[in-house]
Chain A
């Protein structure tokens, strides 16, 4: 308990649960001596909605709608992890065309998530106008996503064995129209970050994680890759058609706040490159496997009993679902392993010894999504 340890000339500052720095409600209690953080503690659960219990009481198809809302910035990765679990348990093969469409929507989702996360971060360190720029590009990306799935945030797009809809007519032309602008915008963001003295003063050398400590803390995703560890589920445990696609795992060496943002910038470029490859390579064919009971609507389906752990690369790191089926039409137990959970947990050791002003810079650079931690 933080309160018991307060020494002379020390004080406790509570940030949150409602605080402009926080993307969702959580509370950060920091024990300060002067302006230095001596110790801190994260309090969670302000938007805990019991998704794991709800999933146990929904049929498999209904569950897709619920898992969408675990992390509202990466709904499609959540769906991929959930649907992948069911497909592994039931032994469903996804046709190649559907796999490509899934890769396209998931990478678009990564693109919009990073655009929002980066813009939000810029506003945390004092560049509110940057947020305006990134949101503008994000709306263009969202309109692409919207044209495929019909929704902006919560898509409910994947189905067991396929996807809900085919790509709309003219999608390739839309991509050709939007992506050059986004590329140009990302270059200009990078330019701003590289040249702005104030931004660099606030980020370079701040909140440094070394590779060993990051591994110990269980961190994954961009914060881990910024320390130089090329840990990416898309490469290490390929799912969908990622094996056939050419992309590199973006890493940086410094492990500080600046490096984390740089990793996200590079990943956005890679995502666009992946989508363009997919559009060139995507074969014609059916969306669902033939002769399968699991069609587009797959009313009531019973999944063979078994247990499976399936993980995918979320915009924030390793997203995994552990699913236990007892042979009925509802899962017996679903565990959601969110990527931000360990990242947020790693804040107190990271914040030890920093100045108060840097709390926002460090916590923001983790791109936390509280909804997914609380579930």
Chain B
């Protein structure tokens, strides 16, 4: 067994050795919370971060007598997701009760779908970092309701074991979920962790594009359970799997898969066998620990939900939804790459930095694609990295970056000044124009002060002035440099050059 703090129970096998000796097979269940206004089965408003137990109704609290009614918008969102994942949409499907006792499930059963999912038999092409495409088969996407949220108080681990008491917030109970389940994914080999991560990321992007969820990983809008097993070769029967629950970031998906491969390989190397169980992911230590033993005979006593009529989406409606589907992220990226004229490598960097939308907005604000890319992938990417935040979380907006570039294009600031303006915007001093004025950074375009500075520079370096006069234009730069220094960089270097030449070469 493991210790609660996640100390590994085995010496891990080096990852490369593990994937050299074993063939990993994995499957992912992704839950996405739908962004509907109300809950799955009642008119309670969906909220995030409100006072506990305020967004509840007799239905979502499971009070005696209360009955569910299906949220039509949630059904539409589920169909959108199914269609985007190339699934068939059921002509008719029923909800089912998944019976188990747990305090965060108000009725002690979850209303879900069992053998009649609304969407089934689909696939999704997942683009990896190097541009390779991996196809993942989708078994099903079904509708269900979320549980409440437990907070276990006391005890060291925050888990129910060892806690003194637990608090339950039912605000989340009944929020509509769609669960997307893959078929076993084989053939990813050593790239298994990367495929797993890219799959979840691709799904997240699709949820956002479909406008069915805010799909914010850090809020738990999207949660992944990762099933993984090893087998000797791709011809061997499937090995025993573990299910690592609630892995909640892209990076964690990749790390958790990598960890499980190394851990399972170590057990198998030592002649041991894998226990079929759920496992908990520990972000801090980058390890998983054993949860509950899970057997195939887990008995949830599923039966069709008698309180709900079957859902039979009208075919014409399904086709309407299909026709109204937005462009999928991969297709959009291909189109934008063409529009923007980015090289493959440039586009990949943009994608990997989750900067596609930001650059698109910046271009829409008037910047050229190249300039937009330059700012976001350069100066701003460095800032984000220093602050350890996403580009989207920076205080500067795409519109402001567009405005900044406009100031450069208009010759009011040069690149060097633009960086200072950027710094001011990021520091919350206002928009680019405001910072420019407040900091007095505008390019000096009045010839008077420039000429004075040039005369001073020429006087200070008489030998250089002489060389230029004799037709050797080489040292002009050193005069320009001196002028820039005097004007604290606010001079237009091109104009300075023109003036220097006029000064030394009598007309």
Q: Do A and B come from one complex?
A: no
